[in-house]
Amino acid sequence: MATNLPTKLRNEPLIDAIFEVRFIGSMPASVILPGIFFGKLPGQKIIENLPIAQIPKPLRDADQNLKFAAISKIDWDAYFINVGDFSLSVSCKYPYPGWSKFRDAIAQAIEILDSAGIVETVERYSLKYIDLFPATTNREKVSMLNMKVMIADHELKEEPFQMRMEISKDELIHAVQIVSSANAVLHNGLTKDGLVVDVDTIAVIDGISMEILLNDFSKKLDSIHSANKSMFFDCLRSETIAALGPSYE
């Protein structure tokens, strides 16, 4: 596990960052939260219903892939706040504003969620970062990664690939997904192509109260952020990190 982590990258590959919390509530959060957020968040906001809102709730509840999906989206400042029946997430607009500002936005959103008084227990929270590395050939993409893959006595060298692995460490689960040829369309319409490294760090907490979650919440956020960042850099070769222009100040 990486110990000396960069504080800043000159060639930033980050294209998305998402914090999510999943919970059991006394009522579907999508019914009440958008209005509460609209009233309590400062500045201009725009609320948009997402396509999944057209699917009847019983069908959403029966499908684990839909149960925690976002039903409405609030466009707020440098962020999007996504509300589902049993989930809330905060994502960053491109470019990434930095961890300090993102952490403050997360804390503000969670405080508003707590004030709604509908959360009975919190099941998990997670922090996901998605990075994209421009590259022209699959051989170049493979060479960027700290990995060795063998299938049927064949070593991955220049073939297109997609892989996902869940790595458990220090009471966290890191769901690492790597896609050799990806196309990303950012919120501003900008399109990027290349190698994607997606690290989703999950704290499964199985039914704690909001009061317990909010106890030292800033410290919890810093901890999961550090773990995610460490896992990301562990996925890269030293030459790849050097090409990103790291600063350690």
CB 107 within 8 A of CB 125: no
Starting at the edge strand found earlier in the chain, the sheet holding 87-92 runs 45-49, 72-76, 79-83, 87-92, 14-25, 119-133, 191-208, 172-185, 162-169
- Check residue 4 and report its DSSP letter: S
Dihedral sign (CA 146, 150, 151, 154) = positive
Q: For 69-109, how does the pLDDT look when each residue is reduced to its tens digit (9 = 90+)?
A: 999 999 999 999 999 999 999 999 999 999 999 999 999 99
Cβ atoms < 10 Å from Cβ of 232: 21
Q: Which of 232, 237, 230, 234 is nearest to 144 (CA)?
A: 237
Contacts of 54 by beta carbon, 8 Å cutoff, 6+ apart: none
Instruction: Give the side-chain half-sphere CA count within 13 A for 67.
Output: 8
Contacts of 29 by beta carbon, 8 Å cutoff, 6+ apart: 23, 83, 84, 85, 86, 87, 88, 113, 116, 118
- Check residue 68 and report its DSSP letter: T
Q: Which of 100, 113, 117, 121 is nearest to 17 (CA)?
A: 100
Tokens of 221: 């956020």
Tokens of 25: 């509530």
Q: For 3-27, how does the pLDDT look when each residue is reduced to its tens digit (9 = 90+)?
A: 689 999 999 999 999 999 999 999 9
Q: Which of 127, 156, 159 is nearest to 225 (CA)?
A: 127
Q: For 179-234, how does the pLDDT look when each residue is reduced to its tens digit (9 = 90+)?
A: 999 988 888 888 899 999 999 999 999 799 999 999 999 999 999 999 999 999 99
Tokens of 93: 């607009």
Tokens of 92: 């960053």
Predicted TM-score (pTM) of the model is: 0.95
Does the N-terminal peptide bond of residue 95 adopt cis geometry, omega within 30 degrees of 0? yes
Q: Per-residue pLDDT for 237 more than 70?
A: yes
